[in-house]
Structure 1
Amino acid sequence: MVRVLSVGGSIVVPQQPDEAFLRDFAAHIRRWLSVSAERKLILVVGGGGPARIYQQAYRKIIDNTPSNDEADWIGIMATRLNAQLLKAIFLDICPNPVVYDPTAVELFSGQVLIAAGWKPGFSTDNDAVLLAERFSAKQVINLSNIEKVYTDDPKKNPDAKPIDTISWEQFIRLVGTEWVPGKNVPFDPVASLRAQKAGIQVICAGGTDLNNLDNILNDCPFKGTTIG
């Protein structure tokens, strides 16, 4: 059984590594894996605070002519640093190197596989979908700093409503179809199109509620939004 988690960098490294969260997160993951040696987990991590800080610096320095590809590469490098930290935390059950290219991975010999950003044009959400396809997982669990998808940005629109379930068609209408580096959406538009095509379901949930993550992994009732 392979489960795929797309872990938002903002909960792993909001500005600097959140040591308390990472310690608890690792304990919950290890507890779930300990039930059976057949349980396997792919963790794909985003860039978090460092990605945003460095991308913002780049855009300010270049002024009005920044390259989206270069901004993406900056974010990708942040994901790789975060991924290396996760690999070190799970070292005893994660013997394979950090995955950079989700289309080329062949080995998954431990219980945990860590992946980071691949190339410009999309976020690590898309890498998670590609890895779900590669290892025949029908679901991606997307953990971020929001508990549910809303009909609009609740920070800007007080009338925005939380959504429990939504089709891919409806979700794509909400987020669009184009990726911009650093774009703040519940799930990457490029990844959404790919997941829709592949028939992969995505659960969006708050990443810091680890008891809720337990419920998702154990197929129990949970707080979040199911897409697809």
Structure 2
Amino acid sequence: MAPAYKRILLKVSGEALAGDNSFGIEPPFLQGIAKQIAEVASTGVQIAIVVGGGNIFRGMAGAADGTDRVTADLMGMLGTMINALALSNAISRQGVRSKPYSAVSMPSVADTFTAREAKSALEDGMVVVLGGGTGNPFFTTDTASTLRAIELECDVVLKGTKVDGVYSDDPMKNPDATRYDAISFEDVLRQDLRVMDTAAFALARDNRMPIIVYALNDESGLAGVLSGTARSTRVG
């Protein structure tokens, strides 16, 4: 059976790479995510990945501690590049070609992102891992995910979180919260549900880019999300 999507954008948070730790990269979690990605890529699905940097440095937290916001966000961008290099290398070790790109020019580390070159790499069967956020301060990696998905003409954005979809309330605090299998952009706004930050969500809504929210620790993994066997919520 043909895959449901030809090209996807996967958002991988820095916290996911930290695993059970509060800081850094935990190798078993890194390898587990890389294996899931490689398995899906081997089916012919083209995969672009945007990585966060919260396990290395979070710009907002740094700004709150006194670092000016622009400097703090630049530090966060460097953190995302550490993660991008680690994840790209881990995917390559799974036998699938992968290439890291940076939104910020650092030619000795990774090629600078352009949509043209990244599309070419995707069409050539590579998994592309995108670090550096949007390359600008004041924008989150959620916004970078939506922006890159639109630029690369992806079919969907997949956002892995700690919960298995979008709920009417925080399920960690309210056990009676309702989980949605599917919900429209309009209903997300009406109920003030926190799927992504405002800029990221507005980009997705205005460009009709669907978002699938799922739990990163689901046993069926990324393949289960794409096949519909894993619990998730489709926003669109």
Q: What range describes the TM-score normalised by the shorter chain of this pair?
A: 0.7 to 0.9
- 1:92-103 map, 5 Å: 93-95=97-99, 97-100=100-103
- 1:148-227 map, 5 Å: 148-175=165-192, 185-217=194-226, 219-227=227-235
SS at match of 2:57: helix
Say which is worse superposed, 208-217 or 20-29, in terms of deviation: 208-217
Cα pair distance change 1:192/1:55, threshold 3 Å: closer
SS at match of 1:106: helix
The alignment status of 1:56 with 2:61, answered yes or no, reads yes
SS at match of 2:115: coil
State how many pairs are aligned.
211
Paired position in structure 1 for 2:88? 87
Name which of 90, 93, 114 aligns with 1:104: 114
1:144-195 C-alpha deviation (Å, 9 max, x unpaired) = 222222222234445433222211122234558xxxxxxxx44222111000
Deviation at residue 89 of structure 1 after TM alignment: 1.7
Deviation at residue 204 of structure 1 after TM alignment: 0.5
Paired position in structure 1 for 2:107? none
Structure 1 gaps of 5+ residues are: 177-184
Q: What is the one-letter code of the residue matched to 1:98? A: Y
- Contact kept, 8 Å, 1:4 with 1:42, in 2: the verdict is yes
Counterpart-to-counterpart distance in 1, 2:75 and 2:189 = 26
- Contact kept, 8 Å, 2:14 with 2:55, in 1: the verdict is yes
Counterpart-to-counterpart distance in 2, 1:58 and 1:132 = 28
1:8-51 C-alpha deviation (Å, 9 max, x unpaired) = 22111252212112212222222222233xx3210111113322
TM-score (norm 2): 0.77
Name which of 2, 24, 47 aligns with 2:7: 2
- Contact kept, 8 Å, 2:60 with 2:69, in 1: the verdict is no
Counterpart-to-counterpart distance in 2, 1:210 and 1:73 = 35
- Contact kept, 8 Å, 1:212 with 1:223, in 2: the verdict is no
Cα pair distance change 1:120/1:175, threshold 3 Å: farther
Percent of aligned pairs sharing the same letter: 27
Cα pair distance change 1:175/1:19, threshold 3 Å: farther
Tell me the C-alpha RMSD between the 2 structures.
2.6
Q: What is the one-letter code of the residue matched to 1:73? A: L
Cα pair distance change 1:125/1:56, threshold 3 Å: closer
Cα pair distance change 1:76/1:59, threshold 3 Å: same
Counterpart-to-counterpart distance in 2, 1:175 and 1:68 = 26
- 1:111-150 map, 5 Å: 111-116=126-131, 117-118=133-134, 119-150=136-167
Deviation at residue 134 of structure 1 after TM alignment: 2.0
Counterpart-to-counterpart distance in 2, 1:29 and 1:171 = 28
TM-score (norm 1): 0.80
Q: What is the one-letter code of the residue matched to 2:102? A: V
Structure 2 gaps of 5+ residues are: 1-5, 105-111
